[in-house]
Structure 1
Amino acid sequence: MIPEKTKNDFSKGSVVKNIVSLALPMTLAQLINILYNIVDRMYIGRIPEHATLSLTGLGLSMPIITVVIAFANLFGMGGAPLCSIARGKGDTKGAEKIVGNAFTMLLCTGLLLTIIGLLFKKPLLYAFGASDATFPFADSYLSIYLLGSVFVTVSLGMNSYINAQGFARVGMVTTLIGAVLNIILDPFFIFTLGMGIQGAAIATVISQFASAAWTVRFLTSPKAILRIRVSCMRPCGKTIRDITTLGLSNFMMAITNSIVQVVCNATLSIYGGDLYVGVMTVINSIREIVSMPVSGVTNGSQPVISFNYGADKYDRIKTAIRFMAISCIVYTTAIWGILHLFPVFFIHIFNTQADLVEAAVPSMQIYYFGFFMMSLQFSGQTVFQALGKAKYAIFFSVLRKVVIVAPLTILLPRWITPAVNGVFLAEPISNFIGGTACFVTMLIVVGKELKKADLQKKTSECP
């Protein structure tokens, strides 16, 4: 048996190979995870009656769904880098304390979000841009989805701790189980039983339950390096504070995405009506698909960077950063060209109604202009997160969405004709400004720290 401290040791072997070995299954896991939402939208967009209204209703629910995911990120992705750093130092006991406290917080948060969401969903949906025509569809989906909030927080949040230990294939299976169930159950509930958008929600909740059960089962088994132990689940103020502080960047990224979705939907409902809210739903769905490889590479790089930071392997950190950044830039540049040349192909995945397709093509080409700049934001954020630099990670999460995108979404439609184009133009502008600022700051701040730490290490090693 391989000793626990030497399992998945990212301080040894090729850095690129370590990242790729994690990134490939994580990318596939991202694809599978996206299927949770994508399959719903594909089937909902083909419901014989009220297809566009149903799809728009789902889009209106997304800000609230994003909030649920944000809390999963808060305690999941907040603690995962800390676990990797602790493992790099050989502190298994401290790492398991992080896992146990995160599990407790994810359970409590999931239950709390269910209660709050069900109590305030109606005023929230209308505030997010719902009309009397679209509210019934949004309400039908969200009322059922919220009942599974605890399954979402546990499956997404705790899966980060599986990946942090280097078990990317197991993490992939977590999402595979739920996605396969969702693909099978969606048509049965939506079409066979004739439940429409409610059927899609029921299928999703059942699938999320299965994923959560698998995640907990693995993390309580002897196969895991770091396990969920009852003795480690008792809340510790310092541990929760450390997890929350680092997780705030991912939390804020998700929350700010929710804010932008609200602002976009509300603004589009004024200038373009329900049709353009549906267009934005399609565009966001496409974004989830094309961003998947970027998320896979950055998520695969994070445990490697964190582990080597804990192990004082600074040259390996630099190699990991270079590989991650170059890979992301090359991919996003290529996909930008593909999206510009073949927008209809991607739109038809979710909706084939002529009026929506006609409106979506120019909107999509504006929205994805200069898409490669987004990779700079992702790369910079990942490095800050992996090294435990919470303040920088939080700042740049807020900068791009709250400071740049949201105000531009409101202001640009007043200056540009047609007004709806102003809403879609806000995204590329934020990518250029926010992406550049985040990446350049990361190079300066992290470069100086690694150089200083490396010098101190070499000095201490001298006889």
Structure 2
Amino acid sequence: MELDMTKGQPSRIILKFFIPLFIGDVFQQLYSITDAIIIGKFVGTAAFAAVGSSSAVTVFITSILLGLAMGASAIFSQLYGEKQYDELKKTISTALIFLFFVSVLITVVTSVFLPQIISLYQMPKETAVYASDYLKYVFWGFVFVGMYNAFAFLLRAFGDSKTPLYFLVASCILNFLLSLLFVAVFHMGTAGAAIATLLTQGFAAVGCGIYTVKRTGFLQFKRKEFVFSTSAFQNIAVYSVLTALQQSISSFGMMLIQGLVNTFGATVMAAFAACSKIDSVANAPLQDLGNAFSTYTAQNKGAGETKRIREGFRVTSRIIIVLSAIISIIAFVFAPNLITLFVDKNATEVIAVGIGYLRIVSVFYVLLGFIVMFYGFFRGLGEIKISILMTIVSQGLRLLLAYSFAPIKGFSGVCWAIVIGWFLSDLLGFYMYKKVMAKKT
């Protein structure tokens, strides 16, 4: 069921769209978390560290596919808000063809260059073998990741955030069962967890695709209208490529930080891997609130409702403050319990390092919340270049500070570098928001 976000109370509309989006993202995170927990418990710390470290490259590549789908979604939302259904059909068909081609290309390239990718990570020898066994199967799932996100963001552009959730819940449950079977029963190691993920990602992509075809019936799509439009592609390329660039810059920055973390040894690698998983789940509601606000902004931009965009900004800001405070308290207080979900209770050094990280970074989750809100706002408004600028500032300073602080402060210097990067990016975001909205008065 589509949701018209140009009418009704902004807070109710944004929350109605956000809640299924958030639950779905939690289940999306559970894909990798399930693998990590099962591997940590049944294979060992070295294997867990390898899979956790490998997640940086998978997140980087997934972010490219996610950014392409997210950028196209902003165009879908604007055209839907403007009721330009003929142009919308051309844009949908062109975007799906483009995303499928890119997904296949990425799948092939990453699979061919797997040894080179592993060598970039500076992993200790005892973890590199586990990472290779895991990634060679995960890389084949990128074609499914790309197509699932293409269909999911298409549905979300119409205000339907529930259907992608249903497919994620089903595939996540299936992933858990298959991972447990392959790793704990058949003793297939990291490869078993990766194969389980590959199979369930395929299920989610195919299932969501079939539903989307039926769901878009209100557009009265005819087979001859499923074409690749050069004019539509030019518009998609601007939004999608720039959004993908923004997403990949952020993930690439984390890859470089992961490389720095790996130089501290397997103990810090394992701690950072556990904390990264916790961060992903903790930040999911903030990320999804930003995505919900993006769809809200795009639809209202298409309808020419500048006043509603301002109201939505104020509402979203208040929600972020409350939501991030709750998340920060949970992460800070229960840091030891959260880390032991991934590592054995006897791994005291890993737990201690992880607690130190969480009790620095989690306090400042509100800063990240405002960053993703700004990303969503500028993306929905069509000001993608500003989002990219914010990402470069955030990641560039974070990397510079991390590599500067690490020799002096060790791993804690990396933690503080992340926080400072968030803060400076927020300052830029507030400045650019006022500048952009001043032009609309």
Give yes or no for TM over 0.5: yes
Q: Which residue of 2 aligns with 1:454?
A: none
Q: Report the alpha carbon displacement of residue 60 of structure 1 after superposing the two structures with TM.
A: 2.7
Q: Which residue of 2 aligns with 1:423?
A: 414
**Range 162-171 or range 295-304, more displaced:** 295-304
Conserved 8 A contact 1:73-1:247: no
Conserved 8 A contact 2:25-2:288: yes
Look up the equivalent residue of 2:350 and give its one-letter code: L
Question: TM-score when scaled to structure 2?
Answer: 0.94
Matches within 5 A, 1:8-87: 8-47=3-42, 49=43, 51-87=44-80
Conserved 8 A contact 2:91-2:229: no
C-alpha distance after superposition, 1:167-201 (max 9, x if no partner): 11112113122212112211011111111111110
Aligned mate of 1:165, from 137, 144, 158: 158
**Range 178-187 or range 215-224, more displaced:** 215-224
Q: Report the alpha carbon displacement of residue 249 of structure 1 after superposing the two structures with TM.
A: 4.8
C-alpha distance after superposition, 1:331-360 (max 9, x if no partner): 113322332222112112222332211221
Aligned mate of 1:274, from 253, 261, 266: 266
Matches within 5 A, 1:65-214: 65-214=58-207
Look up the equivalent residue of 2:440 and give its one-letter code: L
Question: CA 1:229–1:16 in structure 2 vs 1: closer, same or farther (change >3 Å)?
Answer: farther
Q: Report the alpha carbon displacement of residue 223 of structure 1 after superposing the two structures with TM.
A: 5.4
Q: Which residue of 2 aligns with 1:461?
A: none
Q: Report the alpha carbon displacement of residue 222 of structure 1 after superposing the two structures with TM.
A: 4.7
Identity among equivalent positions (%) equals: 19
Q: How many residues align?
A: 439
Look up the equivalent residue of 2:259 and give its one-letter code: A
Look up the equivalent residue of 1:141 and give its one-letter code: Y
Aligned mate of 2:436, from 446, 451, 458: 446
Look up the equivalent residue of 1:19 and give its one-letter code: I
The 2-side partners of 1:248 and 1:439 are apart by 24
Q: Which residue of 2 aligns with 1:459?
A: none
Q: Which residue of 1 aligns with 2:209?
A: 216
Q: Which residue of 2 aligns with 1:381?
A: 375
The 2-side partners of 1:395 and 1:354 are apart by 41
Q: Which residue of 2 aligns with 1:331?
A: 323
Q: Report the alpha carbon displacement of residue 233 of structure 1 after superposing the two structures with TM.
A: 4.5
The 2-side partners of 1:373 and 1:225 are apart by 40
Q: Are 1:407 and 2:397 counterparts? A: no
Look up the equivalent residue of 1:209 and give its one-letter code: G
Question: TM-score when scaled to structure 1?
Answer: 0.90
C-alpha distance after superposition, 1:297-329 (max 9, x if no partner): 222222222111111122211111111121112
The 2-side partners of 1:55 and 1:233 are apart by 44
The 2-side partners of 1:109 and 1:82 are apart by 19
What do you get for the CA RMSD once the two structures are aligned?
A: 1.9
Question: CA 1:182–1:142 in structure 2 vs 1: closer, same or farther (change >3 Å)?
Answer: same
The 1-side partners of 2:158 and 2:105 are apart by 29
The 2-side partners of 1:144 and 1:285 are apart by 20
The 2-side partners of 1:221 and 1:235 are apart by 20
Point out where structure 2 has 5 or more consecutive residues left out of the alignment. Answer: none
Q: Report the alpha carbon displacement of residue 151 of structure 1 after superposing the two structures with TM.
A: 0.4
Conserved 8 A contact 2:57-2:255: no
C-alpha distance after superposition, 1:60-104 (max 9, x if no partner): 322321233123223210111111111111101211222212211
**Range 178-187 or range 338-347, more displaced:** 338-347
Look up the equivalent residue of 2:39 and give its one-letter code: I
Point out where structure 1 has 5 or more consecutive residues left out of the alignment. Answer: 452-463
